[in-house]
């Protein structure tokens, strides 16, 4: 594999990770906050006063995804500090030796 292909492969991985973690988690959090407002009856412009219970479920799911993403990030940082790595070979991430 030549150097240009190797650099392009690395750049692609960094781009995907930055979009998912850098922009994806804040977007999911914003959607959760919007769902919570919708559940409380707050619509755009304050016109909608009907309560929507499904908004609470969507809020909980969005916040759960964000919290799991943050916990995974902290786990990766702490594992690398102890000379370990996080493996995604199984259904759930596991800490393994480097």
DSSP secondary structure letters along 27-84 = HHHHHHHHHHHHHTT--GGG------THHHHHHHHHHHHHHHHHHHHHHHHHHHHTTE
**Mean of all residue pLDDT scores within the chain:** 85
Entry pTM? 0.72
- Centroid of chain to Cα 9: 23
How many CA atoms lie within 13 Å of 65's alpha carbon, on the beta-carbon side? 16
Q: Is 46 left (phi over 0), alpha (psi -120 to 50) or beta?
A: left
Digit-coded pLDDT (tens) for 67-96: 998 998 899 899 999 999 999 888 888 899
Amino acid 46: pLDDT:
57
Whether 48 shows a pLDDT value over 60: the answer reads: no
Q: With bands split at pLDDT 50, 70 and 90, how would you rate the model's confidence at 8? A: confident
Residue 90 gets which letter from DSSP? S
| Domain residue ranges of the chain, discontinuous segments joined by + | 3-72
């Amino acid at each position: 594999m030549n150097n240009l292909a190797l650099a392009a492969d690395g750049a692609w991985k960094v781009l995907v990770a930055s979009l998912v973690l850098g922009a994806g988690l804040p977007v999911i959090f914003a959607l959760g906050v919007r769902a919570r407002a919708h559940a409380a009856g707050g619509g755009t412009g304050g016109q909608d006063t009907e309560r929507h219970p499904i908004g609470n479920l969507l809020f909980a799911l969005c916040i759960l995804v964000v919290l799991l993403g943050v916990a995974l990030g902290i786990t990766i940082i702490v594992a690398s500090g102890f000379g370990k790595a996080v493996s995604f070979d199984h259904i759930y991430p596991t800490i393994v030796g480097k």
